[in-house]
Chain A
Amino acid sequence: MRFARKVPLARRMALRDRGRFLITAGGVGFAVMLMMFLLGVLEGVRKGATQYIADCQAVIWACEINSSNLLRSSSFLEPEDGRELAAFPGVREATGIVRVFTKAEIHGRQKTLLIFGIDPTSSLAVPSRIIQGTQKLGPGELILDRAFAVKNGLKPGDSLDIQHRKFRIAGVSEGTNAVIIQFLFGRLDDAQELLEIGEVVSFFLLTVKEGFDAAEVLRDLKLKVPALSFFSKEEFIQNNKDELKMGVLPIFWTIAILGSIIGAAVIALMLYGSVLERRLDYALLKSIGTPQRDLVLLVIRQSLLASSAGCVFGILAAGLLAPFLLWLVPELTLAIRPDAAILILAGSLFVGLAGSWAPIQKLSRIYPMEVFRG
């Protein structure tokens, strides 16, 4: 074990007033916890919104030109498009799904639903992570996302009135929660009936025949079927992530910046008060010849100590409180990654540095002669 080579003055000064230190670290910790949850939610949204696409067996997604994602673009494709795609060289199967936004009254409250109508005879579009009930959809049946089911107190066997039609809940799925909205699945014909636009679908999901390269089939589709847009699974996942980023990231950054300012302000206030309170100690240090650089480092070390302690507290608190948060808000999907903790630690250290600026300015206005004051 290597011991410190100098008297740990910064640590002792910071910890001398434990109450003040705890309040500061706590303030930073809460800001860090907020960041952790934000990053966790952001990652959860990204995963939740794309997990279904990742789980699907389809390797190519086809949609209307200028449409690029599952959530925030419109796409209407005719049945003939599907037949053309199914006959395209190298394509083994092309199955349509239709996206329907509708409303239902659940326990007396109007809820927005996003229903994907899927072909029950194909396994391509069926959600693969069924945690309750069945994957097989009969007429008038639905599979609900887990968060949607928990939030609304629904389970397999229950029924749901949608546009004056009664639907029975057949199963509950996971990996189908985009946080802002959850995915429900019904039969294609039921969804088309709700949409009231005939046999139109939103997307075609394609697989390729054995012996064919998906990338080559995709390239050929893009060349020979210019009326439609085609994406590989990876591209389609990325499109959806990018779409979410555009919607969520500005909010995230606003909150992150506000959190950082709060953290820096808490540290600055604590240290500023501490410098004022201990101005005779700082005057003494100046009088006995402490180099200015060492004085600045003394303040910065105290600041970094408070910010890093707050950061550790915040990360631990986020880990401990995450299950409670998920219980409280079932539609949330939290995915806290280790690199998020590293990013937040780096951010906290920056906040610590920023928070020490004002106290350092104050320090420069303390005169060594003050040490003679009573």
Chain B
Amino acid sequence: MNAESYLAVETRDLSKVYANPSGPEVWAVKDIDLRIFQGEVVMICGPNGSGKTTLLSLLGCLLQPTSGSIQILGQKMATLSEQELSRFRLLNIGFVFQHFRLFECLTAAENVELALNLAGVRRPESQHRAELALAGLGVDHRAHFLPSTLSGGERQRVAIARALVNSPGLLLADEPTGNLDSRAGREAVDLLCGVARREGQTVVIVSHDERIRSAADRILLMEDGKVLETKTKFL
């Protein structure tokens, strides 16, 4: 088996340009060549407007690149239709957001269960698996509470459980500690990375948070749409 077969994400000359009616076009992401291996935890850092979230959106197949190619878990994204991309995201990519993005009208368990239902898992199996996922993140005692009654840390754990429940190969987290205090933020990232490492899942985290850098195997520093620097944990 060669190194290619261990690649979770590969981009070549990846660019995203936004039209700007009042000025020159904006290169949010410019000619990025990126290789992320399976089981790796990569953090993308950089100032506001550096293109981190655009890159994450491209990796999450939420945006079409202007040019270049993306291959995720061995699948070339350019070959997939809109419908196939949705299905691919559902089964292979988990998302964690800064603002948690839980459905306020569903309980914690139902929020997790929803991801299973969308993937075709029906009750009672989906209920059982959702509760197991919450237990794995230590929030099973809050399973039947609405998000509005949970603390920020608990909400983020529920969101992580939702991202992990379909066992995706790739986890993408956008500022996962942005709305948490330092302790809850650290715990959330440790849980996310811990579970992902155990399961061999690849994690890409976009964050400003210096305190969680130690959780990453590799840190990419972005500026003006480009990756300026790569730091590896052991170097």
Contacts and interface: CB of A to CB of B under 8 A. Distances in A.
Interface of A: 3-7, 9, 12-13, 15-16, 280-281, 284, 286-292, 294, 367-369, 371-372, 374
A374 B174 CA distance: 11
Given A7-B106, A287-B95, A289-B91, A369 B62 contact: yes
A373 B96 CA distance: 13
Nearest to B60: A287
A13 B86 CA distance: 22
B89 A372 contact: no
Q: Which 7 A-B pairs have the closest CB atoms?
A: A289-B90, A289-B89, A12-B105, A16-B105, A6-B117, A5-B122, A368-B62
Nearest to A295: B86
A288 B62 contact: no
A292 B89 contact: no
B122 A288 contact: no
B90 A290 contact: yes
Nearest to A6: B117
B27 interface: no
A269 B105 CA distance: 21
- Tell me if A's interface is mostly helix, strand, loop or mixed: helix
B204 to A, nearest CB: 14
- Tell me if B's interface is mostly helix, strand, loop or mixed: helix
Nearest to B124: A3
Given A7-B110, A290-B90, A372 B117 contact: no
A372 B122 contact: no
B63 interface: yes
Given A286-B86, A291-B87, A292-B83, A371 B97 contact: yes
B103 A287 contact: no
B99 interface: yes
A16 to B, nearest CB: 4
Given A292-B82, A369-B62, 4 more contacts: A4-B123, A9-B103, A288-B162, A372-B98
Interface in B86-118: 86-91, 93, 95, 97-99, 101, 103-106, 110, 113-115, 117-118
